[in-house]
Structure 1
Amino acid sequence: MLERFFVKPHTIDRITECWLGPQIEQYVTALADRAYAPRSIHRRVPLLVKFATFTAAKNVKQLEQAENFIEPFIADRLSGRNSDRSVGAHRRDRNFVAGVMRHFFSLVLWEADSDRTRPPLPDPFAVQVPGFFDYLRDERGLRQGSIKHYRHYLRVFERHLGEIGCDPGALTLPVVTAFITIQAQHFGRTSMISLASNLRVFLRYLHRERILQRDISKLVEIPQNYRLADIPRSISWASVQNMLDQVDRRTVFGRRDYAMLLLMAVYGLRAREVALLTLDDIDWKRDRLHVRGRKAEHSTTYPLAPIVGEAIVDYLRNGRPDVQSRQLFWRHLAPQLPLTHSAVSATASKYLHRAGIPVSRPGSHTLRHACVQRLVDRGFPLKTIGDYVGHRAASSTMIYAKVQVGDLREVAQGDGEDLQ
């Protein structure tokens, strides 16, 4: 495999003769299988050869031991760089070296066959409270994303109980309250609401399974979340246009990003819904767009707006990689995989920052809020708007009624005599 990327024989000899030679060749094979560009491989391999030289000088020739020398190697590599370089340049250099080293070990050491990831952590309380996560999945019908939140908070709770030596069957309200008080120093209001809510469900399950004799779930206080207390983080439609103008549609990245941004701005799609779109969801004959992966397993069919259809066609013809999968949006850099919802949201955030639009927590939901706000400003009923963007409850749409920008402007500019 090395001969495919390196022409000079002495270069190949230098790679294969170092003590990491077999692992480097295995790494190159894994990169080639994942469609990494040759220039990317050319940048990574010399760095790994230098790492082999660095560790050999310290009498380390075992892969498991070498992993402990990643940070010293990074420090050694950066120590000789020009001190006049900017902080950003040093950060990029460090991120590149650290990223290459950790990626190498993830494919060669952590994955024996380059196809498996590290074994997942066991579920919290798997021994003491078996069946809880099956209960969440099978009886309550929660999505994996919601179950992931339970794992996160309960893992913190499990660690706390281990530190104080308390068993789930011996839980009392003071123990739970003390844990919540400690976590309040680290979590924000929204996270504390999630933490308390998840603990309530867990405690209720403990009582149902008779692991806990007393049901204390209702005694766990949840931080107050006042209805309609916040306002949507929407932006004006002029700002949306400004953001779209930042996309360079001459590139394959720009064509893809432009189509995704339009889907979020025109239809108010969530990042997850954009990431799950497939070629089969676009009905070209009837000019329809089917959105299937909505919350609570809902689906919506939209008329395909001409500007959105043209952007998708441009992406399909001149931007989408030649892959067999029916997934619509793909990465263009290796590894060649469908875009995740996090990548879709990060794309929206990138262009909002590039346009210099000040907004709290910029991302895909900023465009969703902008879509809803535009419909509110045009006088559409809240029920119609909620159905359009896939709100499950009317209360989700009602918050936009308090941000009637046009009406508020008239009130501010008037003399107040019309107010009774």
Structure 2
Amino acid sequence: MEFIILVIMMEEMIRQFLNFISVEKGLAPNTIESYHRDLQNYLRFLKSQNITDFKFTSKTTIISYLLLMQKSGKASSSISRACAAIKSFYHFLMRERYIDEDPTINLDTPKLEKKLPRVLTVEEVERLLDQPDIRDPLGFRDKTMLELLYSTGIRVSELISLTTEDINLDMGFLRCTGKGSKERIVPIGSFAVTYLKEYVNNVRRLLIKDKNTDILFVNHLGKALTRQGFWKIIKKYARMAGINKEITPHTLRHSFATHLIENGADLRAVQEMLGHADISTTQIYTHLTKTRIKEVYDKTHPRA
């Protein structure tokens, strides 16, 4: 019984931490959910070791947990994220003076393998964008969403959160809220503007059920689309287009950034449009373009 009570107290500390990063730090809901999941997994590990208080943990405890994740085949990115969540949590416990020493000081985060995102060629993007049947209201919605994603490079989470107030078709830009609740303005290309105008003025009213809703893109029930719903949409059109590459909800975002840089776009401008806090995140697309240049060279140069 005492063991259960102590574990409940540990869960309460995690709850207080999540409330802290939500209210005082203003972290995005997706980040908070990830931290919650990672800390619950860590707590399960502590329970399996009969550790009933965070005061009884040490650097060795945390390293043992991270090594267990590694042995169980967890991706480097998952281990790194769990490490970051645990570090933040112990910083919070120090702040609250619950613990006297922070066991995560000098704790090394596992090095991430740099995995280059998969992107589509310009020809593959055009085939993908040509698949929706624009004679059908849902098909027209899909066409508009795909055009908008490739035109702006916004995240799928940002796309499905757009409202009618977030787009300015006369000026050709949209406003979206990204990670860390940071707002940014992104230009919209002429093709996307053309479809957006038709969608907003004529098609959207055929799909919405609640005339007072300001959600821009709705599903067949007239409710907001989900990430999973959009993922199914893009997978369907990729199959129809005969694209055999692995498709993710961010495929058009990655393709947008790569094609811009390939055509000489300034890296800082691309960083701004993508909403990256650190330019090193954007630089991965320069690696992509270098890889593709090498592939073209190997295929075409007579002495490659």
TM-score (norm 2): 0.84
Deviation at 1:171, TM superposition (A): 1.0
Q: Distance in 2 between matches of 1:269 and 1:128?
A: 35
Q: Distance in 2 between matches of 1:347 and 1:390?
A: 24
Q: Identify the residue that residue 325 of structure 1 maps to in structure 2.
A: 213
Question: Contact (CA 8 Å) 1:128, 1:168: kept in 2 or not?
Answer: no
Deviation at 1:212, TM superposition (A): 2.4
Deviation at 1:186, TM superposition (A): 4.5
RMSD: 2.5
Q: Distance in 1 between matches of 2:275 and 2:24?
A: 24
Q: Distance in 2 between matches of 1:150 and 1:409?
A: 39
Q: Identify the residue that residue 175 of structure 1 maps to in structure 2.
A: 61
Q: Identify the residue that residue 195 of structure 2 maps to in structure 1.
A: 311
Deviation at 1:398, TM superposition (A): 1.4
Q: Distance in 1 between matches of 2:104 and 2:28?
A: 23
2:22 maps to 1:137: yes
Question: Contact (CA 8 Å) 2:186, 2:273: kept in 1 or not?
Answer: no
Q: Which has the larger radius of gyration?
A: 1
Q: Distance in 1 between matches of 2:109 and 2:130?
A: 44
2:77 maps to 1:193: no
**Identity %, equivalent residues:** 23
In the alignment, residue 291 of structure 1 is paired with which amino acid? R
In the comparison of the two structures, how many residue pairs are matched?
288
Deviation at 1:187, TM superposition (A): 1.9
Q: Distance in 2 between matches of 1:182 and 1:266?
A: 43
CA displacement 1:350-371 (0-9 Å, x = unmatched): 32233232333x1231101111
SS in 1 for 2:10: coil
In the alignment, residue 98 of structure 2 is paired with which amino acid? I
Question: Contact (CA 8 Å) 1:259, 1:315: kept in 2 or not?
Answer: yes
SS in 2 for 1:131: helix
Distance 1:204 1:282, change over 3 A: closer
Q: Identify the residue that residue 344 of structure 1 maps to in structure 2.
A: 230
Deviation at 1:416, TM superposition (A): 6.5
2:269 maps to 1:384: yes
In the alignment, residue 371 of structure 1 is paired with which amino acid? F
In the alignment, residue 310 of structure 1 is paired with which amino acid? T
Q: Distance in 2 between matches of 1:382 and 1:128?
A: 42
SS in 2 for 1:403: helix
Q: Distance in 2 between matches of 1:402 and 1:374?
A: 13
Deviation at 1:388, TM superposition (A): 2.8
Deviation larger for 312-321 or 170-179: 312-321
Q: Distance in 2 between matches of 1:151 and 1:315?
A: 38
Distance 1:231 1:130, change over 3 A: closer
Question: Contact (CA 8 Å) 1:291, 1:300: kept in 2 or not?
Answer: yes
Residue pairs, 1:257-276, within 5 angstroms: 257-276=142-161
CA displacement 1:69-107 (0-9 Å, x = unmatched): xxxxxxxxxxxxxxxxxxxxxxxxxxxxxxxxxxxxxxx
Q: Distance in 1 between matches of 2:59 and 2:252?
A: 43
Question: Contact (CA 8 Å) 1:264, 1:364: kept in 2 or not?
Answer: no
Q: Distance in 2 between matches of 1:178 and 1:410?
A: 45
Q: Distance in 2 between matches of 1:128 and 1:234?
A: 42
Question: Contact (CA 8 Å) 1:233, 1:369: kept in 2 or not?
Answer: yes
Q: Distance in 1 between matches of 2:137 and 2:9?
A: 43
In the alignment, residue 294 of structure 1 is paired with which amino acid? G
SS in 1 for 2:42: helix
CA displacement 1:93-125 (0-9 Å, x = unmatched): xxxxxxxxxxxxxxxxxxxxxxxxxxxxxx993
Deviation at 1:330, TM superposition (A): 0.6
TM-score (norm 1): 0.63
Question: Contact (CA 8 Å) 1:256, 1:320: kept in 2 or not?
Answer: no
SS in 2 for 1:225: coil
Q: Distance in 2 between matches of 1:259 and 1:127?
A: 45
Q: Distance in 2 between matches of 1:355 and 1:146?
A: 34
2:290 maps to 1:290: no
Q: Of the candidates 280, 283, 289, which is equivalent to residue 165 of structure 2?
A: 280
